[in-house]
Structure 1
Amino acid sequence: MSSQRKPRGPYRKGLERREQILRTALEVFAQQGDRGSSIQEIADRVGLSQTGLLHHFGSREELLLAVLKRRDTLDTEVTEQPRSSGEAVAQTVRHNMEQPGLVKLFVALSAAATDPAHHAHGFFTDRYGDLVSLLTHGLEEGQRSGRVRDDETAEHMARLLLAVCDGLQIQWLLDPSVDMAALVETFNRMCEAAGDATSPDQVE
């Protein structure tokens, strides 16, 4: 019987250092977003120069992308047993409202990534493709069970839910009084089948 060996020596230390930088970057960006001084502040907190810090990621852009990837992973972990994928989206949005800097970073990087030559283009293309597929599947399940309206296609509703989330992020950054999660829940109710009142949020 063989077992997977854990990294040792310099390689293991490098992975641990990279993880430390990523955790610190999440804290800094969650608080203030991608400001000119952000990289220097992260470097100061972990006791490295900017050059030494970026060595672990290859470039500033790759660090920003790693932060967003980790945010997505953490968003999945904080979701509390939702009744539906629509409710999971609302929970994620409410969690993100506590991290305005990361929302600002996401909005800026996703807009820049519409350029096919941008380093994050592939990440966002895959991310939206996966989310559309996941939400469409959930909505189709809801249609089959009679909880979700079936006079619109599941994929259209899935894409609209993502568009609602993205548009609300911009509105919220401009006006923090906007309750993004409550508005996502409103959209979820609009996707309910007529006469179905079993739950305030039935987007599967």
Structure 2
Amino acid sequence: MSTDEQQGTPARRPRGPYATGQARRQAIVDEALAVFSRTGFRGGSLREIAKRVGVTPTGLLHHFADKEELFAEVIHQRDEKVREAAGDPAEHTLIEQAKRVVAHNRTSRGLTSLYAIVSAEATDPGHPSHSDFAARYRDRAAEAEEILRSGQLDGEVRDDIDPALAARLISAVMDGIQLQWLLDDSVDMVALFEEFVGRYLHPAEGTDG
């Protein structure tokens, strides 16, 4: 334990070149998000990102080895924000988490646009994120299926649906609603998702599951 920690004083924040480097790295990620969410991975230019940050392309490559590494960091930070918005699985059901994510995505248009564009691009087997996105949907469906089965046992999810199919439908509905919202921001994503959940997943009132 450091002296500062022993005395109860706050840990010092990084200063000097390291702090400057970290700030510059994050600025690059932020500008990359703006570029990728508009043009996708294919159309995103390192030169444009560097210009927006105020560095040369060579200077940008001091922080990220190539466009793939920069893009991976943008997606990583996006995932962390979504995970934080969803909340602790121990405290929220799958349906509650999904609702929280939809509400969060409405407040972060850039990240939502990025995900919509890149998930479509990634259908190309030659895209650098093809395998990652295929695994992402597959793993998310497997986790959702397990949680839905548990929800059926607890009476929180209708017992006449197939959890494996429903798990895939949740992602499909979320992605479809988000795409419509990106095209027309008068679309109420939260209300539409709640309509889907209420009509398709929740047991009808008056039933005992």
- TM bin, normalised by shorter chain, reads 0.7 to 0.9
For 2:38, which of 27, 34, 57 is the aligned residue? 34
The answer on whether the counterparts of 1:146 and 1:193 sit within 8 Å (CA) in structure 2 is yes
Kindly report which structure 2 residues correspond to 1:80-159, keeping only aligned pairs within 5 A, or say none.
Answer: 80=87, 83-159=92-168
1:21 is matched with: 25
Instruction: Measure how far apart 1:67 and its partner are.
Output: 0.8
- Structure-2 separation of matches of 1:31 and 1:96: 18
- Structure-1 separation of matches of 2:165 and 2:27: 36
Letter in 2 for 1:170: L
- Structure-1 separation of matches of 2:112 and 2:56: 26
Where do 5+ consecutive residues of structure 1 fail to align? Answer: 1-11, 198-204
Question: Structure 2 vs 1, CA of residues 161 and 55 (structure 1 numbering), >3 Å: closer, same or farther?
Answer: same
Question: Structure 2 vs 1, CA of residues 61 and 19 (structure 1 numbering), >3 Å: closer, same or farther?
Answer: farther
Kindly report which structure 2 residues correspond to 1:177-196, keeping only aligned pairs within 5 A, or say none.
Answer: 177-189=186-198, 190-195=200-205
TM norm structure 2: 0.74
- Structure-1 separation of matches of 2:196 and 2:95: 9
The answer on whether the counterparts of 2:29 and 2:73 sit within 8 Å (CA) in structure 1 is no
The answer on whether the counterparts of 1:85 and 1:135 sit within 8 Å (CA) in structure 2 is yes
1:172 is matched with: 181
Q: Give aligned pairs, total.
A: 185
The answer on whether the counterparts of 2:157 and 2:201 sit within 8 Å (CA) in structure 1 is yes
2:59 is matched with: 52
Extract structure 1 runs of 4+ deviating beyond 4 A: 35-42, 44-47
Deviations 1:96-130 (A, max 9, x none): 11221222221111111111221001210121122
Instruction: Measure how far apart 1:132 and its partner are.
Output: 0.7
Question: Structure 2 vs 1, CA of residues 114 and 16 (structure 1 numbering), >3 Å: closer, same or farther?
Answer: farther
Instruction: Measure how far apart 1:17 and its partner are.
Output: 3.7
Percent identity over the alignment is 39
Deviations 1:46-101 (A, max 9, x none): 54212321453333243223212211112111334553111111111211112212
The answer on whether the counterparts of 1:21 and 1:46 sit within 8 Å (CA) in structure 2 is no
Question: Structure 2 vs 1, CA of residues 16 and 90 (structure 1 numbering), >3 Å: closer, same or farther?
Answer: farther
- Structure-2 separation of matches of 1:73 and 1:98: 15
Which structure: larger Rg? Answer: 2
What SS is found at the alignment partner of 1:51?
Answer: helix
Question: Structure 2 vs 1, CA of residues 56 and 28 (structure 1 numbering), >3 Å: closer, same or farther?
Answer: closer
Query: Which one is further off, 155-164 or 188-197?
Result: 188-197
- Structure-2 separation of matches of 1:69 and 1:196: 43
Question: Structure 2 vs 1, CA of residues 150 and 29 (structure 1 numbering), >3 Å: closer, same or farther?
Answer: same
The answer on whether the counterparts of 1:136 and 1:154 sit within 8 Å (CA) in structure 2 is yes
Instruction: Measure how far apart 1:37 and its partner are.
Output: 8.2
The two structures, once aligned, show a CA RMSD in angstroms of 3.1
Where do 5+ consecutive residues of structure 2 fail to align? Answer: 1-16
- Structure-2 separation of matches of 1:144 and 1:79: 23
Higher normalized contact order (CA 8 Å, seq sep 6+, divided by chain length):
1
